[in-house]
Each structure stands twice: as C-alpha cells, then as structure tokens.
Amino acid sequence: MRTKSLVKVTLAFWIIVSAGSLDAQERGSPVSRVPTAASGPPNAYVQPFGVPLAPPVYFVNFLLLYWSNPEVAANMPAYRAALPQQVYECLLENATGCPYPDMAQYFAEQASGEGSRNNTVWPAQCQTDAQWQALAPREYRSTDQINEPLGTRHAGRIARALGIDEEMILTPQEYACLIGRPGDLLRHARELIILCSIEFTNSKGHSVIPLSSYGLSLNEQADVRSLCASDKSTGFKAPCLEANDVFAGPLQAIAAECGFEHKFVRLLTETPMVTFIEQGHACQQEWAGACIAETACRGNRTQSNNSCAPPLATQ
C-alpha cells in the first residue's frame, strides 16, 4: 500500500513539474508577460524581486530543506530585498549572469542606505493562500536585515505552521543517504539537491558573499544571477531550476533506496507542498529568463536603490 501511494503522489508531481517546465509560448499560453499585480493606472510603480523569494517558490524549497535537515533550512533568508535597479537591468539583458565585481557597488550602496519603506505586492502568479503568504519573508526595514538567516527558532515556527512534525524529518543517517552515495546511478540528482540547497542558503554566516535576500547567487565564474534563471537560446538552467526534475522520479527512487518512503509521502500529503509546487511553477513560468518579478508599489515615485520606480517598459 505504501508503494502504491508513493507512486500516485509522485505521478501527480510529475504532471505538475512537466507542465511547469514548458515555456508559456510553446504551450500557447494566453498569459501576458505584463505582471498582473503591477498593471493598472499609468502611475503604478514597481520594484524588482527575485522569484525565489515569492511565497510559493520559497516554501517549496523551505519544506524540502527543513524536511531533510532543519539546520540547513535555518540558513534560508528571513527577509527579502529589492534588486538595485542597475543589477535588475543587467540581469534582464544577461539572464545567465552579470559579473559580481561590476554589481558589487550597487549592493553596497543599498546596504549602506536607509531601510525599505515600501509595501509591495507580488504579481498574482506569484502568490499563495493568505494564511501561508503571511509566513513568507517580508521586506527588510533596516539594512542589517538584508541576507539575515531565519535562524532555528523562526524556521521551526514556519515548519510547524506548514505541517511538518519531528517524525517527518529525516534522521542524520537518512539525510546522509539523501545527499550522497558515491558511484550510484542517482548521483546527478543528488548533486542538484546539494547545489540548490547551497544557493538557497547563501545568507550571512553561511556564505562569503551573501545574496539570499535577493534570490540571487554566484556561479563558478563569479557572475551573479537568479536561482531560477534560464536561457532558452542556450538551454541553460540554474541548478535550482534544473532540480525541479528531481521530483520526476529520482527523489522517489532515492527515498526508496534510503528507506524513508513513508516520510516522503507524508511531506507530500500532510503539507501544502503540492499546492506550492503548482503555484511556484506558474510564477517561474511567468517570469522565465532572468526569473525576477516586478512587484506592484504605488504612491512612491522617487527612484533610488531601495524605492519604487516606473516599470522598465515605460522608462
């Protein structure tokens, strides 16, 4: 019975992941590239945030990390920060990355400035139910909160609210099996799990150059990019975007190999994971490429590194 349940749940994941991985244009989707939440009166102003900080995308990764290792999940960002405008413009033109040495000054200017006073709204495609949305990272109010990690207590509160209990969490032995068995056939899937967990937890105290509050990370070439960036022309996918395919069989196989199938089933059936997966893919699909969303922000027309500005299409 346990195996049959696992197959049924994993099949549901495969359907969601497969659909979400298709480009909107290839599917003939009528969804416009104009962000729903940022549309409206001509005087609407926006602020760019990395899609990995959007509630459903954030929660998918939080649940996976906390389920596998709470200490790792505690290093996810507690707050979100808008991208400096210069960084945003560069990444729109170069989704696979912009040289960090060229971008560092803009992050430094933001970190040395004033706290954010905005109250932005995620586009409709990047939202979730209100009860869960309230648990997502809120905008920083003081600059020392940028790239601040959740910490064990805060992470524990979120995990309990999302339905995770102690019996669901992998043991140290199970976690070791999840991330590594040298020479096995599932090594690539395990490498993606490790790489994505590293990118999502590049917060203060856990990274030389923390960028987690921006939903960004550095690649091996020291280029900064979104955790879910992609390039259709080259077939490039950031590790965390590529890791979506781990759900399409490899994670099930790893769970069976390591003997924690029942915990995997509980993760999928006793938390909002499946809902977040579906919503998260809609968000990533809408903002494919640079994987940065324009959130709506009205009533603030001053342009700076931490305040709203006109949509780039109108500038």
Q: pLDDT digit string (tens) for 28-82? A: 333 333 333 333 333 357 899 999 999 999 999 999 999 999 999 999 999 999 9
> What does the pLDDT read at residue 23?
39
Lookup: tokens for 148 = 């601040």
> What does the pLDDT read at residue 4?
44
| C-alpha–C-alpha distance, residues 24 and 44, integer Å | 26
Q: What is the 3-state secondary structure (H, E, C) of 60-71?
A: HHHHHHHHHCHH
CA distance readout (Å), 257 to 190, 191, 290: 13, 16, 36
Q: What mean pLDDT do residues 144-161 have?
A: 97
Among 59, 122, 104, 63, which Cα is nearest to 216's? 104
Q: pLDDT digit string (tens) for 87-129? A: 999 999 999 999 999 999 999 999 888 777 777 899 999 999 9
Residues 6 or more apart from 262 whose CB is under 8 A from it?
A: 2
Q: pLDDT digit string (tens) for 265-314? A: 999 999 999 999 999 999 999 999 999 999 987 554 444 444 676 666 44
- What is the arrangement of strands in the sheet containing 216-218, beginning at the earlier edge strand? 98-99, 223-226, 216-218
Contact 175, 115 (CB under 8 A): no
Among 233, 205, 235, 236, which Cα is nearest to 223's? 236
Q: Name the phi and psi angles at 212, rounded to 5.
A: -65, -35
β-strand pairing of 98-99 with 223-226:
antiparallel
